[in-house]
Amino acid sequence: MGTTPPEALLICEHCDTVYRRRTLARGEVARCACCHAELERHHGLSLTALLALVLTAMIVFVQANMWPIVTLGLNGQFSGATLWGTIIAMWQQQAQVISVLAAATLFFFPLTKMLLLGWLLWFARLGRRAPGFAPMMVVLHYLQPWTMSEVFVLGALVAIVKAHLYFDVVADPGIYAYAALTLLITVFAGVDLRQLWELTPEDPA
């Protein structure tokens, strides 16, 4: 163990068991033999591909927030609703807690995650760590469970089906953009961001 380079070792974050790193096959996940926590998983995407996905997700994110999500019609009168229009309406209807949660989980948290990822990946492609690397990695770790786009899309589809009993309902481009964003976020969820610690060398003091 004394002659093994640090980059060839894996340390379990939960029980501190040390393992020798080996090359993983496609789709393979390395788990701790003691506590069964995930140690590492195979990465099929390069840093350039990940950065391209982040930029694509940001474009789709802007479209999803600009375009109407659904249009409701009654007696020939039609009204479209965007995400922020719905959030503001909930705030005005004394549902402030729900509106704040919706704004945070559907807008601010995903936007923060994409901006931080883009910043880190941009510098990683240059072969070095971005300024603020460590605190940003910590923020990304805690943001991981709080991007709720998939929950929103599922809830919106259920609401559209139920509203169709009372209104003329048309699904607008915004809901499709959110569905595409959900797929992109699902891809990011399968990426082990801890690889950035190994892929980017630490700046010398």
Residue 92: predicted pLDDT? 84
Q: What percent of the chain has pLDDT over 70?
A: 67
The pLDDT tens digits for 80-110 are 777 788 788 878 888 888 788 878 888 888 8
Asked whether residue 204 is domain-assigned, the answer is: no
Together in a domain, 194 and 145? yes
Residue 115: predicted pLDDT? 92
Together in a domain, 37 and 53? no
Q: Could you give the angle at the alpha carbon of 150 between the alpha carbons of 108 and 186, nearest 5°?
A: 90
Together in a domain, 38 and 55? no
Together in a domain, 27 and 75? no
Residue 1: predicted pLDDT? 45
Mean pLDDT (the chain) is 76
Asked whether residue 205 is domain-assigned, the answer is: no
More confident residue, 203 or 185: 185
Range of the domain at 171: 46-199
More confident residue, 164 or 193: 193
Q: How many structural domains does the chain have?
A: 2
Together in a domain, 74 and 168? yes
The pLDDT tens digits for 117-158 are 899 989 888 888 888 888 988 888 888 766 666 666 656 656
Residue 196: predicted pLDDT? 77
